[in-house]
Structure 1
Amino acid sequence: MNTVVLVGNPKPASRTLAAARLVAQLLTGSPPDAVVDVVGLGAELLRPGGPAVAAAIRTVRAATLAVVASPTYKASYTGLLKLFLDQLPPDGLRGVAAVPMMLGAGPDHALAPELLLKPVLVELGATCPTRGLYVLDHRYDDPLAIEPWLGPARDQLLRLLEPGRGPAPGTALPTDTEVKS
């Protein structure tokens, strides 16, 4: 499995990045294979087709599993992440299992990853078999903050990604209820 962490935080080496790495590690049992910290692409994000952005897009598109993370800004994900995602071609994430993840200061925006980030990933062709993950930013490095989400999410991802465990072609992905039983 090729695991990639994609982070759209305007601060380099952010808590969002640390949290996304932790989630990837807890989901797969190993560190991510690649990390795309979008802020490192700088002004090249404003010039479509630049070599660093093109390389980052190739990295994300080659992922089997992508943890896509953003802090909560104005009740949504960052414009920085949107700038990057907008450069992906239509269906650019086809074949990628994506986990939408956001950090925030309080529980008021807990549905943001599900309602705002997940639809964009699906529109780009990603499969999002898990619920979106929202983590309080003061608990960004606490595995216990992720634990209630982790068990069902890991199960759903394994069913999708492990050979012989995924659904037969043409069948629906398992629902939360089916995974728990």
Structure 2
Amino acid sequence: MSILLIAGSPSEHSRSAALLDAVAQRLHTQHLPVDRLHIRDLSPQALLLADFQHKTITRALAQVESARAVVVATPVYKAAYSGVLKVFLDLLPQSGLKGKAVLPLATGGSPHHMLALDYALRPVLQSLGARHILPGVYATDAQVPKDDEGRYRVGEEIASRLDDGVSALLHEGLRMPVSAAFAPVPFAQVRCSV
């Protein structure tokens, strides 16, 4: 069972990539196989011309097809997800996400773009046949600041929401069992008084 992380930012270093990195760290602690797809690394000409024979496009489409779950991260520009993500999603077949659980992530300059996850991205994911689209995680620029070394770091509030998102992906989307906090008690040993 692989989980594909799709980076929909045209920038190599971005806040949305920081969200994906944080999700990847959480998945690695669960010893789950994670694969990555950086749309910016695909051939721009092949993307724009919908060249399905180009090696980067065939490889990317195969990654999506073989994944059991997908995490999509995008910056929000003008109340919509990124253009590079749009071009890639347009290349997927109509049932390209069929049977897959999807966790959408987005970053934007202010909270005003938060609904782009629900009103712009979610309908497209649904039209591609995603089985279960989990509640997304949206972070503002202030919630993913740069550290002293100039790298984007996820703040505490977003880290907590990513924990919840990954947990939902594993337990709701992939239906992995929840680890018990204590050993199960057989019903015969349950005692109660009324």
The bucket for the TM-score relative to the shorter chain is 0.7 to 0.9
Q: What is the CA–CA distance in structure 2 between the aligned matches of 1:14 and 1:78, rounded to whole Å?
A: 12
Is 1:159 the counterpart of 2:172 in the alignment?
yes
Q: What is the CA–CA distance in structure 2 between the aligned matches of 1:136 and 1:91, rounded to whole Å?
A: 32
Q: What is the CA–CA distance in structure 2 between the aligned matches of 1:147 and 1:96, rounded to whole Å?
A: 24
Q: Which has the larger radius of gyration?
A: 2
Match of 1:59 in 2: 63
Q: What is the CA–CA distance in structure 2 between the aligned matches of 1:44 and 1:4, rounded to whole Å?
A: 21
Gap runs ≥5 in structure 1: 166-181
Aligned pairs for 1:26-105 within 5 A: 26=26, 29=29, 33-41=34-42, 42-48=44-50, 49=52, 50-105=54-109
Secondary structure at the aligned position of 2:91 is classed as coil
- The code of the aligned residue for 1:45 comes to L
Greater mean deviation of Cα atoms: 106-115 or 133-142 = 133-142
- The code of the aligned residue for 1:6 comes to I
Does structure 2 conserve the Cα–Cα contact (< 8 Å) formed by 1:6 and 1:60? no
Aligned residues: 165
Match of 2:188 in 1: none
Gap runs ≥5 in structure 2: 145-152, 179-194
Is 1:142 the counterpart of 2:146 in the alignment?
no
Q: What is the CA–CA distance in structure 1 between the aligned matches of 2:41 and 2:21, rounded to whole Å?
A: 16
| Runs of 4+ with >3 A deviation | 162-165
TM-superposed CA distance for 1:156, in Å, is 5.6
Greater mean deviation of Cα atoms: 130-139 or 36-45 = 130-139
TM-score (norm 1): 0.79
TM-superposed CA distance for 1:86, in Å, is 0.4
- The code of the aligned residue for 1:19 comes to L
Does structure 1 conserve the Cα–Cα contact (< 8 Å) formed by 2:4 and 2:70? yes
Match of 1:8 in 2: 8
Q: Percent identity between the aligned chains?
A: 33
TM-score (norm 2): 0.75
Greater mean deviation of Cα atoms: 12-21 or 46-55 = 12-21
- The code of the aligned residue for 2:112 comes to D
The 1:153/1:111 distance shift into structure 2, 3 A limit, reads: farther
RMSD between aligned alpha carbons? 2.3
- The code of the aligned residue for 2:95 comes to D
Does structure 2 conserve the Cα–Cα contact (< 8 Å) formed by 1:130 and 1:153? no
